[in-house]
Amino acid sequence: MSVPKNKLTLNPNLKEFWSKYYPIKCLYGGRDSSKTKDTAIWLLVQSMNYRLRIMCVRQFQNRIEQSVYTELKWVIDQLGVQQLFKITNNKIICTKTGSEFFFYGIKRNLTDIKGTADIDILWIEEGEDLTQEQFDLIEPTIRKDGSFIIILFNPKLQTDYIWQDLVLSGREDVQTRLINYNENVFLSEKSKKRIEQLKTRDYEAYEHIYLGVPKKDDKLAIIKRVWLNAIVDAHKKLNVDLRGYAQIGYDVADAGDDKNAVCIVEGTLLTYIEEWKAKEDELVESSLKVYQLAYRKKAQTIYDTNGVGAGTGSNYKRFNKEYNQNLTFVGFNSASSPVAPKSFYEGDITNEQYFENLKAQAWWEFRDRVIDTYNFVVNDIPCDIDRIVAIDSSTTNIAIIEKLITELSTPRMAQSARLKNMVEKKKDLEARGVKSPNLADACVMAFTRLLSDKLIVRKSEGKLINY
């Protein structure tokens, strides 16, 4: 069956997108681009030709009217095929083929969605808020031969899961298509005029809203992505030598999805980034791996003492004895009180008044140095050389640098019950679909100077590296 003449039709610019099969199809872009309408038309036409079970989901759906149910009803009316469909209060059924559309809100019905069988097509509307945890549970339910997932979304942030893992990843099983208002052949002149007005008034907003350009930065993020981009090869941009005594930041993990992460900073130059999974019984092996890195770099190590990391210090002591070394190491207890509590951080506000814990203090310490470096590189506002931080792209993998930047620019500012600044908690990150930022925590520990009373202060290449 074809779409009736003189009625609603598909956007011809999406013909190739609909004609190719992929297990996952991502259609994304700005507003007024015809994504939802086109998907509704295409799926309804398929449902009139084949017997299909089509599950339609979105993040929140308190009422059926909040789903694509309303859009599908409108399209059925516009196509003039009301006689072929039975519309109930929670389903749309094609009486000709037996196809059915049914609707769920992901947030409240994830278990029901996971348990739904025999799905041919899953339509995820407003997929920009899709989390990895949700997708990892939903994707395996679409397992029939020839079944597939269609995800529609307006990009929000470059750090979002769907942008990073489904659009930028280059997965062979994912088809992506950007479509914007300028490819919507049905767009009204009134809408075009409104868009042009925003383009003139606020081009950045126009890009995000109507061209589907994800924002680089979350306004609530502690460290902005644009700042971090400036510190990549900042030493080359500024023609300064930042190398000095090495310090390792080690975020410890064991079994599960969590990963061990290591960053090595030489002076104030990040030269090494690595992460790896380890089994529950491999904590000693992971500690030895980091110890060997420290030995080769003659580096001191700061390690996370929370949870499974508590035993790292004992391992280091044993390694020093076994290998007749005296490598320096110190634990970083993120929940402990800020260092130098009575010292002023901002104006007449002290560290203990400003920061909830040591982790917050360390993240803000790194943030402030990133800002100073950004201003030097971008705005030509000089700062002391020991304030500069840089990532050396020539000594580590570009892909993992990008991952580190994403992790560093993801955690948001939060406030404790005592109204002090803190880093967004892991449980709150998880609620946003963000995994633990292990690389970011390792990086912050590698750069920190807050534990100088417990670490070695050395001269290197004529500069005092004040740890």
What DSSP string runs through 285-338? HHHHHHHHHHHHHT-EEEEE-SGGGGGHHHHHHHHHHHTT----EEEE-TTSPP
Rg (the chain; Cα; Å): 27
Q: Are 225 and 158 within 8 A, CB to CB?
A: yes
Q: Side-chain half-sphere of 127: how many Cα atoms within 13 Å?
A: 28
Give the mean pLDDT of 415-443: 89
- Say yes or no: 63 and 191 in one domain: yes
For the segment 329-365, what is each residue's pLDDT rounded down to a tens digit?
A: 999 999 999 999 999 998 889 999 999 999 999 999 9
Look at residue 220 and tell me if it is in a domain: no
Residue 323: what pLDDT? 92
Look at residue 215 and tell me if it is in a domain: no
Look at residue 203 and tell me if it is in a domain: yes
- Looking at the DSSP assignment, which residues form a beta bridge with residue 150? 25, 123
Count of domains for the chain:
2
Q: Which of 210, 245, 270 is the last residue of a domain?
A: 210
Burial grade of 383 (CB within 10 A; 0-12, 13-18, 19 or more): middle
Q: Which of 210, 234, 259 is the last residue of a domain?
A: 210
Look at residue 4 and tell me if it is in a domain: no
3-class secondary structure, 386: helix
* CATH number, domain containing residue 114: 3.40.50.300
- Say yes or no: 263 and 365 in one domain: yes
For the segment 241-261, what is each residue's pLDDT rounded down to a tens digit?
A: 999 999 999 999 866 667 899
Look at residue 183 and tell me if it is in a domain: yes
pTM equals 0.66
- Say yes or no: 321 and 443 in one domain: yes
Largest CA distance in the chain: 86
- Say yes or no: 242 and 175 in one domain: no
Q: Are 212 and 28 within 8 A, CB to CB?
A: yes
Residue 215: what pLDDT? 80
State both tokens at 375: 């201003």
- Say yes or no: 415 and 274 in one domain: yes
> Mean pLDDT of all residues in the chain?
88
- Say yes or no: 109 and 162 in one domain: yes
Distance, CA of 214 to CA of 159 (rounded, Å): 9
Which residue type does 425 have?
A: K
Residue 405: what pLDDT? 93
Look at residue 130 and tell me if it is in a domain: yes
Q: Which of the residue ranges 242-251, 272-281, 314-323, 374-383 would you say has the lowest mean pLDDT?
A: 272-281
Look at residue 219 and tell me if it is in a domain: no
CB atoms within 10 A of CB 129: 18
3-class secondary structure, 403: helix
Residue 458: what pLDDT? 46
Backbone angles phi, psi at 122, to 5 degrees: -110, 120
Q: Are 212 and 29 within 8 A, CB to CB?
A: yes
Look at residue 2 and tell me if it is in a domain: no
Distance, CA of 134 to CA of 165 (rounded, Å): 13
- Say yes or no: 194 and 337 in one domain: no
Domain of residue 56 covers 12-210
- Say yes or no: 171 and 37 in one domain: yes
- Say yes or no: 43 and 182 in one domain: yes
3-class secondary structure, 251: strand
- Say yes or no: 152 and 266 in one domain: no
- Say yes or no: 119 and 264 in one domain: no
CB atoms within 10 A of CB 324: 6
* CATH number, domain containing residue 405: 3.30.420.240
- Say yes or no: 259 and 350 in one domain: yes
Q: Side-chain half-sphere of 230: how many Cα atoms within 13 Å?
A: 20
Percent above pLDDT 90 for the chain: 63
Q: Which of 210, 234, 269 is the last residue of a domain?
A: 210
